[in-house]
A and B are shown apart, each in its own frame.
Chain A
């Protein structure tokens, strides 16, 4: 199981890094990418709530942890 994960993750990284060299989308072709629905996080206020609730109920590291944060959420 673990090995499959590693392979998946590594291959995703390799593919994505590889893509950087071959993709070419000109600035005038990026209209769709600029739409609000294409934002990496279209609803940040919701993400914040979800992240807080998941981290108080699950053992996975919070995906917001890189920006710092604290509190016990001990309930």
Chain B
């Protein structure tokens, strides 16, 4: 995050102060306050500490398959982002960010002549007559009829007759089950009067792609801070372990990577690694009192495995004898799919120029950017974009934006290739093919136009809301210097985002002495009532009308180990026999399952006896399966879980909102009631991809992201405290308010009773012990559309049960210093006794972690 946030608040604070300074003085003071950071591009300055939460959704439009019927869902991605910067000392800052994205949808794996009919619709007969399109399956090894000039010829599918030349190409799509990526960044920065340095690092983890990176950079100010010189360098190491598509793998030619492919658990894993070094240098220069310019040059050197391991090149092998024989018409081309081959080295240069002009009549700023990049793959790019940043009063900012981008094709990009040789026993002369080839449409020549807007609203008490929208359209015809000739790959997408940005105003101690008294008040106020253990929800209330609390809650749950029936372990043959249904025995069982839930707690006190809460959630889960011993053998046409890859889901979960009402508040004892509701914002119709010509169908009940129904969530909480002791009890429940959700089922109701005791180890640290009893009903009804029914997790009776848990927790209210007033809590929930309904994987426990801060 850039440091310029500080300037925003500096000026705003001045405007809000009761003594309004004159305009000149205001300008002077604000300038003096922010100048040290004015010229920085990154987040490390002496401005206020800030925490951001953001959710965004990326949604692509449908790809052009030239009328081939299909029901493939276009790519979409849900992204959760949290970041912040915190002052460790007056001049040192710590910054962090965490991003989690989950994507799913149909992705192009290659390009083929349209006449090859590679996108094959999958039809299923309806029980009531007629057929339904249930999918599309890529056919990557085909015979293509060609004329002597190698133009593809279209054939009538029924008669086989040639109906004419068809030189159109089409992208061949393959669907994918959801996948999740996690990225964390951390860094430190140190500021001096006319210089700054920063170091950072982080990681990005996906099932098939892991990278770690580090960077170092700095800034030097000259010329009374009219000029700033910035420099930085970074290094990234990435390891690729791509599990090749089990269905497609037998049809893909992998000879070029034979030595990099490892076989494990029935899967083929293509391994590689790559390294990226970057260096950049830039200059920011104030031109006039209303304009500045920023120029920079960046260099990136990459080497190693730069292919996309899931993209293949369609190579059409033609018998040279047939080609030379003028009588042979048409010529049969033998189309094969080869994993793409990119060069192992890439050097890129990027030149950025930014000009920013203040427009006095509107109090707005015009930002003009131009970027030119070139590389040794032949990809030269031009980007122009313009932003108009328009504040409205002190609270709103509206920023419309437009961008144009154009790139040349990589020298080795081809939609598909011809090779004049025959393939005998799957063997061919690789020397007759180019060294490098790719049909990834991102390496083609094209242009793109996008536009959007950002809206910012500043609320009181350092709370800012931001919403953004962008629409992007790619068009081969928009490439600078002529159309790229690949309009078949054109697509569009939109991105919508919402963010909450919080300034830690109470934590500002940049002026020594100024904040001390308020800190003491803060810590005293926060210590007045102890917050219950971290695993308790809706457990406390705000006391002062107008108070606002922001919190974040992380819950990590794991199920692992043995399969259980009631409270006993069960063996595989028993699960096969009894875990599913009489008609379909179980074939698979989970080996482990992880659940992560991120939750924002936004709480506001309109009066001292009534609080309202909003809690958006973001879930992600992963599960791995194994085949049961003594499972019946695979049956053609029935879904089988293949290979070592597990299942992943993740996106927005259900959203909770509630009213908390204080019933009793006497010294040492408090009782409040919570009337909460859960809105069904989490998906309950996530599907597994089609595998081995069999639909995956809806993913297991427990891997769907919400309940799918409106739920009532009441609770009653009692808390007490005396001297160093505190205690409490809560009863809570979840009652589903609808018969069924849109996938036909309803999760079981839930009831919980819990009680805890806490002891103040120090003035600011509390240890707690808690006991909890939970009852949850089984899933009611069933999926009303196809689910593969491969194991116990696909049957409604195998959910819920009775659970007895012990919680051990610590919570802290930071009493003073820079982070005064922040509350942190951790609690480990250890199952002590479980009585599962049906057949379920054993529970291993749950970790709850909370942070909250009152504004």
Measuring CB to CB, which residues of chain A are less than 8 angstroms from any residue of chain B? 1-2, 5, 8-9, 12-13, 16-17, 19-20, 23-25, 27-46, 48-50, 52-54, 57-61, 63, 65-72, 74-75
A-contact bits for B66-93, CB 8 A (1 contact / 0 none): 0000000001010101010000000000
Whether A60 pairs with B379 at a CB distance below 8 angstroms is: yes
Which of A35, A49, A66, A71 is B232 in contact with, Cβ under 8 Å? A66
B624 at the interface (CB under 8 A from A): no
Which of B28, B215, B350, B495 is A60 in contact with, Cβ under 8 Å? B350
A-B pairs with the 3 shortest C-beta distances? A31-B27, A70-B211, A39-B4
B358 at the interface (CB under 8 A from A): yes
Inside 8 A of A46's CB, which chain B residues have their CB? 454, 466, 468, 497
Known: A27-B224, A32-B360, A67-B215. 16 other contacts (CB 8 A): A2-B374, A31-B31, A32-B358, A37-B365, A37-B390, A39-B8, A45-B466, A45-B499, A46-B468, A49-B497, A57-B472, A65-B298, A68-B215, A69-B183, A70-B209, A71-B204
Whether A34 pairs with B11 at a CB distance below 8 angstroms is: yes
Inside 8 A of A40's CB, which chain B residues have their CB? 2, 4, 39-41, 284, 294, 354, 356
Provide the bound-state CA to CA distance between A15 and B194, in Å. 23
**Contact segment of B195-203, B557-565, B677-685, B845-853:** B195-203
Whether A66 pairs with B294 at a CB distance below 8 angstroms is: no
Which of A35, A63, A69, A72 is B11 in contact with, Cβ under 8 Å? A35
Whether A36 pairs with B397 at a CB distance below 8 angstroms is: yes
Task: Across the interface, name the chain A residue whose C-beta is closest to B29.
Answer: A31
A46 CB to nearest B CB, Å: 5
Inside 8 A of A61's CB, which chain B residues have their CB? 298, 300, 348, 350, 373, 375
Whether A36 pairs with B8 at a CB distance below 8 angstroms is: yes
**Contact segment of B285-293, B659-667, B799-807:** B285-293
14 contacts between A and B (CB under 8 A): A23-B288, A31-B30, A34-B27, A35-B365, A37-B391, A39-B7, A58-B407, A65-B298, A66-B234, A66-B279, A67-B200, A68-B202, A68-B213, A72-B208
B389 at the interface (CB under 8 A from A): yes
Which of A25, A27, A34, A66 is B215 in contact with, Cβ under 8 Å? A66
A72 CB to nearest B CB, Å: 4
- Given A60-B383, A70-B213, CB of A25 within 8 Å of CB of B206: no
Provide the bound-state CA to CA distance between A75 and B315, in Å. 23
Inside 8 A of B224's CB, which chain A residues have their CB? 27
Provide the bound-state CA to CA distance between A8 and B472, in Å. 28
Inside 8 A of A43's CB, which chain B residues have their CB? 399, 454, 456, 466, 468
B790 CB to nearest A CB, Å: 26
A-contact bits for B435-450, CB 8 A (1 contact / 0 none): 0000000110000100
Provide the bound-state CA to CA distance between A54 and B377, in Å. 18
Whether A67 pairs with B474 at a CB distance below 8 angstroms is: no
Which of A23, A32, A44 is B287 in contact with, Cβ under 8 Å? A23
Whether A5 pairs with B213 at a CB distance below 8 angstroms is: no
B764 at the interface (CB under 8 A from A): no
Whether A44 pairs with B2 at a CB distance below 8 angstroms is: yes
B420 CB to nearest A CB, Å: 30
Whether A16 pairs with B292 at a CB distance below 8 angstroms is: no
Whether B497 pairs with A23 at a CB distance below 8 angstroms is: no
Inside 8 A of B383's CB, which chain A residues have their CB? 60
Inside 8 A of B592's CB, which chain A residues have their CB? none
B405 at the interface (CB under 8 A from A): yes
Which of B38, B238, B295, B363 is A30 in contact with, Cβ under 8 Å? B38
A67 CB to nearest B CB, Å: 5
A70 CB to nearest B CB, Å: 3
Instruction: List B365-388 residues whose CB lies under 8 Å from chain A.
Output: 365, 367, 371-375, 377, 379-381, 383, 387
Whether B32 pairs with A27 at a CB distance below 8 angstroms is: yes
Whether A20 pairs with B223 at a CB distance below 8 angstroms is: yes
**Contact segment of B51-59, B249-257, B539-547:** B51-59
Whether A71 pairs with B209 at a CB distance below 8 angstroms is: yes
B364 at the interface (CB under 8 A from A): yes
Whether B234 pairs with A65 at a CB distance below 8 angstroms is: yes
Inside 8 A of B28's CB, which chain A residues have their CB? 27-28, 31
Provide the bound-state CA to CA distance between A28 and B481, in Å. 47
B151 at the interface (CB under 8 A from A): no
- Given A9-B372, A74-B308, CB of A42 within 8 Å of CB of B387: yes
- Given A30-B35, A41-B41, CB of A25 within 8 Å of CB of B468: no
Inside 8 A of B287's CB, which chain A residues have their CB? 19, 23
- Given A31-B27, A58-B381, A68-B201, CB of A42 within 8 Å of CB of B495: no
Inside 8 A of A42's CB, which chain B residues have their CB? 4, 365, 367, 387, 389, 397, 399
Provide the bound-state CA to CA distance between A52 and B56, in Å. 12
Whether B30 pairs with A41 at a CB distance below 8 angstroms is: no
Provide the bound-state CA to CA distance between A75 and B279, in Å. 27
B413 CB to nearest A CB, Å: 9
B131 at the interface (CB under 8 A from A): no
Inside 8 A of B81's CB, which chain A residues have their CB? 45, 48-49
Whether A34 pairs with B407 at a CB distance below 8 angstroms is: no
Provide the bound-state CA to CA distance between A31 and B619, in Å. 45
Task: Across the interface, name the chain B residue whose C-beta is closest to A72.
Answer: B209
- Given A53-B472, A65-B234, CB of A71 within 8 Å of CB of B278: no
B330 at the interface (CB under 8 A from A): no
Provide the bound-state CA to CA distance between A31 and B616, in Å. 39
Inside 8 A of B552's CB, which chain A residues have their CB? none
Whether B283 pairs with A16 at a CB distance below 8 angstroms is: yes
B351 at the interface (CB under 8 A from A): yes
Task: Across the interface, name the chain A residue whose C-beta is closest to B213.
Answer: A68
Whether B75 pairs with A75 at a CB distance below 8 angstroms is: yes
Whether A50 pairs with B470 at a CB distance below 8 angstroms is: yes
Provide the bound-state CA to CA distance between A48 and B95, in Å. 15
Whether A20 pairs with B358 at a CB distance below 8 angstroms is: no
Kindly name the residue among B26, B38, B208 whose own CB sees the greatest number of chain A CB atoms within 10 A. B38
- Given A40-B4, A44-B1, A70-B183, CB of A59 within 8 Å of CB of B410: yes
Instruction: List B571-595 residues whose CB lies under 8 Å from chain A.
Output: none
Inside 8 A of A31's CB, which chain B residues have their CB? 26-28, 30-31, 289
Task: Across the interface, name the chain B residue whose C-beta is closest to A71.
Answer: B204
Whether A16 pairs with B293 at a CB distance below 8 angstroms is: yes
B226 at the interface (CB under 8 A from A): yes
Whether B285 pairs with A20 at a CB distance below 8 angstroms is: yes
Task: Across the interface, name the chain A residue whose C-beta is closest to B365.
Answer: A37
Which of A2, A13, A28, A65 is B31 in contact with, Cβ under 8 Å? A28
Whether A23 pairs with B31 at a CB distance below 8 angstroms is: no
Whether A65 pairs with B276 at a CB distance below 8 angstroms is: yes
Whether B495 pairs with A1 at a CB distance below 8 angstroms is: no
Whether B212 pairs with A70 at a CB distance below 8 angstroms is: yes
B270 CB to nearest A CB, Å: 13
Provide the bound-state CA to CA distance between A12 and B364, in Å. 25
B428 at the interface (CB under 8 A from A): no
Provide the bound-state CA to CA distance between A19 and B191, in Å. 26
B657 at the interface (CB under 8 A from A): no
Inside 8 A of A70's CB, which chain B residues have their CB? 183, 202-204, 209, 211-213, 236, 238
Provide the bound-state CA to CA distance between A68 and B184, in Å. 11
Whether A60 pairs with B238 at a CB distance below 8 angstroms is: no
Whether A63 pairs with B371 at a CB distance below 8 angstroms is: yes
Inside 8 A of B212's CB, which chain A residues have their CB? 70
Task: Across the interface, name the chain A residue whose C-beta is closest to B225.
Answer: A27
Whether B217 pairs with A67 at a CB distance below 8 angstroms is: yes
A19 CB to nearest B CB, Å: 6
B155 at the interface (CB under 8 A from A): no
B107 at the interface (CB under 8 A from A): yes
Whether A34 pairs with B7 at a CB distance below 8 angstroms is: yes
Which of B105, B292, B375 is A33 in contact with, Cβ under 8 Å? B292
B165 at the interface (CB under 8 A from A): no
Inside 8 A of A1's CB, which chain B residues have their CB? 481
A-contact bits for B114-133, CB 8 A (1 contact / 0 none): 00000000000000000000
Provide the bound-state CA to CA distance between A44 and B5, in Å. 10
Inside 8 A of B399's CB, which chain A residues have their CB? 42-43
B486 at the interface (CB under 8 A from A): no
Inside 8 A of B286's CB, which chain A residues have their CB? 23, 25, 30, 33
Provide the bound-state CA to CA distance between A20 and B285, in Å. 7
